[in-house]
């Protein structure tokens, strides 16, 4: 039996996490004895969309400090997710719908650290869903590199198509790169909630690099996946 695989980003695709990042970076900058430069979560979210080097410059930090930043973050993220992260409306129910369908397969890929979501996923009944992250399973391999997407397929021969759901340009580029090197069709979709919402980043993505589907409602993803079954 052939199946369709969903590789879903987590931050701002499944979970509202801007408040998590806002509070986390207060703690990170306190560790480095730096002033926190953001007054609101919106201001923080806009800055977080910038390239990593630019964001660190705003915070008074440097790329060379990334390892220490990640170490500090790892000590706080799980607690902050439990305290501040919220599921977008209908997302949990949709994920369980996908899990209940034998022809659909669910996985997660995040540029965050997977254990940060551990208890949150457990509480939602999703702790058995495979998750690849850039800090443990794929150390140093961040999206837009396609590894965290294609490695979910592994040696499986039952996957007929891959859908990548994300909120950021890096998710779409990861899908595009996966599509370019995979023998399996890769479809990129984007959630309305995150950094691509009402964004000029959408400009130019409807080209040969991407087979892009805009999904305004996450609850429509299972129907999209079923259209890709042979």
Residues 6+ apart with CB under 8 A from 151: 132, 137, 138
Query: Which of 78-87, 111-120, 150-159, 214-223 comes out lowest in average pLDDT?
Result: 214-223
Rounded CA separation 191/168 (Å): 9
What's the CATH number of domain 3-16+85-226, 3.40.50.1000, 2.50.20.10, 3.30.710.10, 3.10.20.30?
A: 3.40.50.1000
Query: Which of 77-81, 95-99, 170-174 comes out lowest in average pLDDT?
Result: 170-174
Q: What percent of the chain has pLDDT over 90?
A: 48
Rounded CA separation 230/227 (Å): 8
Is residue 200 very low, low, confident or very high in pLDDT (cuts 50, 70, 90)?
A: very low
Per-chain mean pLDDT for the chain: 85
* pLDDT tens digits along 126-147: 999 999 998 788 887 888 889 9
> In 89-188, which residue ranges form alpha helices assigned H by DSSP?
91-100, 118-123, 147-150, 169-181
Rounded CA separation 3/104 (Å): 5
Question: Beta-strand (E) ranges in the chain?
Answer: 3-8, 15-16, 86-87, 104-110, 131-133, 159-166, 186-190, 212-214
Phi-psi region of 198 (alpha: psi -120 to 50; beta: other; left: phi over 0): left
Rounded CA separation 146/25 (Å): 27
Q: Does residue 55 have a pLDDT over 90?
A: yes
Is residue 195 very low, low, confident or very high in pLDDT (cuts 50, 70, 90)?
A: very low
pLDDT recorded at residue 204: 43
Q: Does residue 87 have a pLDDT over 60?
A: yes
Rounded CA separation 161/229 (Å): 8
Write down the pTM of the prediction.
0.84
Q: What percent of the chain has pLDDT over 70?
A: 88
Mean pLDDT to the nearest integer, 178-199 = 68
């Amino acid at each position: 039996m052939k199946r369709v695989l969903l590789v879903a980003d987590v931050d701002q695709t499944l979970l509202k996490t801007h408040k998590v990042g806002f509070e986390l970076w207060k703690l990170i900058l306190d560790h480095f004895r730096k002033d926190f430069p953001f007054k609101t979560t919106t201001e923080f979210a806009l800055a977080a969309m910038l390239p990593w080097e630019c964001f660190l410059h705003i915070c008074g930090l440097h790329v060379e400090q990334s390892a220490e930043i990640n170490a500090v973050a790892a000590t706080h993220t799980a607690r902050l997710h439990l305290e501040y992260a919220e599921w977008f409306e209908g997302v949990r129910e949709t994920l369980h719908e996908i899990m209940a369908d034998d022809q659909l397969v669910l996985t997660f890929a995040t540029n965050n650290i997977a254990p940060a979501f551990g208890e949150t996923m457990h509480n939602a009944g999703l702790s058995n869903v495979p998750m690849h992250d850039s800090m443990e399973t794929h150390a140093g391999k961040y999206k837009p590199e396609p590894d965290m997407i294609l490695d979910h397929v592994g040696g499986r021969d039952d996957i007929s198509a891959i859908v990548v759901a994300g909120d950021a340009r890096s998710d779409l580029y990861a899908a595009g790169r996966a599509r370019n090197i995979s023998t399996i069709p890769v479809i990129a979709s984007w959630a309305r909630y995150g950094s691509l919402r009402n964004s000029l980043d959408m400009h130019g993505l409807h080209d040969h690099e991407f087979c892009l589907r805009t999904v305004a409602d996450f609850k429509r993803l299972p129907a999209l996946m079923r259209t890709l079954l042979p």
